[in-house]
A and B are shown apart, each in its own frame.
Chain A
Amino acid sequence: MKVAVTSQGTDLDATVDERFGRCHYFILIDPENEKFEVVENLGAGSSGGAGVQAAQFVAGQGAKALITGHIGPKAMEALEASDIEVYSVDSCSVREALARYKNHQLKPVLKAMVGPHFGTRR
């Protein structure tokens, strides 16, 4: 069981990246033992379709849950189709987000929170 978290940096103390499709890194964590793997988001600079691309990546990694900041309509549709639970956090560390996930303190996101191209505006 793996959880994917969007991150601005490469360790668990980094801040969760509020963008999904255009986040800097994905941190793939096993919540049991907190072992993790960091993967750079190669789709961060693409002109379009970054959300779908990121959803494909997360699904391809076998993640069952995703923790991020905001999620757009195309990414949400793609993640839903893959039965990946989506959780949203306000600015906090990856470690803290994971702790809140494990304590069931995060509510799942059921629909897109932002419009398309949200991540290109910052």
Chain B
Amino acid sequence: MSSISGTNKSSRWSAVRKEIGRAGGALLISLIVTFVIVLLTSKDPLGAFEQLLTQLPQKTRTFGYWIDDVAKLTITGLAFSLVFQARQFSMGVQGQVYIGALAATYVALSPLGASWAGIPLGIAAAMLAGAVYGFLPGIAKAKLGANEIVSSLMLNYVAIELCNFLVRTNLPKPQAGVLTTNDFPDSAVFPMLVDKTRIDLGLILAIVAVLVVWFAVYRTSWGLKLRLVGHNARFAEYSGIKSTFIMVSAMTASGALGGLLGSMFVQGQTYGKLTVLFEGNLAFEGILVAIVARSRPLAVPIVALFYGYLRQGAQLMNIRTDVPAEVIGVVTAIIILLVSSSYSLAFLKRLFRRGVATAPTPAAAAGAAK
């Protein structure tokens, strides 16, 4: 996932160009596949694609949906980037979101939530809860050797069921039987930044998070150790780095980001309350964002901008045409498959000639963009 960037500036730029080319190529291929699917299934394929690709910035309201989605995608992308940098495939962001949201909800619905402390305390509680939830699979892996992929996936379901249970039984509800809590007091809901949109404090939190994660990974000794461990854990261990400590701390920090995302969901303008299954599988979209951004914190928001556009464009297409929004899952899957593999046009050609599979040359990979 990670790579230690060379000092040579021109080589770094050519690497960046190569990555952009591969990502753009993957996006193009996935859009073509989606277009073929829409063409085969829709009565008005061109209209559907117009909705998907051009309508989002036309209205302030839909523009707000986009930016709100970008903020959330950025946070989940950062959370996955941190663990991928350490080469840990912890998939626990979803669970951290639910646990963080629960913590934020308990703060917001307590007397503290009605005071000025509602927002900062809610965020802090959510991040703390998320950090603990990220720490658990980390420590289980470091001390006991438990596979972090399986344990973090299990913790996701535990968190979802816990959230369902507490919403149904314990948390105050407007009426019996509904699976949502009371609305939070205004002092616990993030203020709007742009009037009559969903753009709220979450956007600022996302920008701050990008800068903090970038600084931590590229400008601190912890970050250097993190990248070394991700690159070659054994080498890092030999050079005196406590690789287990680095792994666990990366997973804990990633958990704090997941918890923050939980607070952004329930305290944001979109909800302002806790609803069961509020997260709608957004957390796992961070995998795509992190992979395409090559786990670079500064690239994460850029990828999130593009991907959020597609996601929200798909929602518009869903409402206004006969194409369901879920078709975007095809785009996501194809992009992940292509970007995480060593695909290139030259490779595809060779494949059709049934040639021998070898790693493609960098030049061939760069050619994939065209």
A and B from one complex: no
Measured CB to CB, the residues of B under 8 A from A are none
